[in-house]
Amino acid sequence: MKQIKVLVVDDEVTICQTMKLYIERATKFAVITATSGKEALRLARSQKPDIILLDIMMPGMSGSEVAEELRENPLTSNIPIIFITAAISKDEEVRKGGYIQEVPIIAKPVKAEEVVRRIEEILRQRGLMV
Give the pLDDT score at 93: 58
Instruction: Please report, to the nearest 10 degrees, the dihedral formed by the alpha carbons of residues 36, 40, 46, 48 taken in order.
Output: 160
Is 115 contained in some domain? yes
Is 130 contained in some domain? no
Residue 90's CB is within 10 A of a number of other CB atoms, namely 13
Total of domains in the chain: 1
Reported pTM: 0.90
CA distance 106 to 89: 9
Is 104 contained in some domain? yes
Nearest to 6 by CA among 126, 119, 128: 119
Average pLDDT for consecutive 10-residue bins of the chain (130 residues)? 91 95 94 98 97 94 94 96 79 64 79 90 88
Give the pLDDT score at 16: 95
Is 41 contained in some domain? yes
Give the pLDDT score at 98: 66
Is 53 contained in some domain? yes
Q: Checking DSSP bridges between strand 99-100 and strand 103-107, what pairing results, if any?
A: antiparallel
Give the pLDDT score at 12: 94
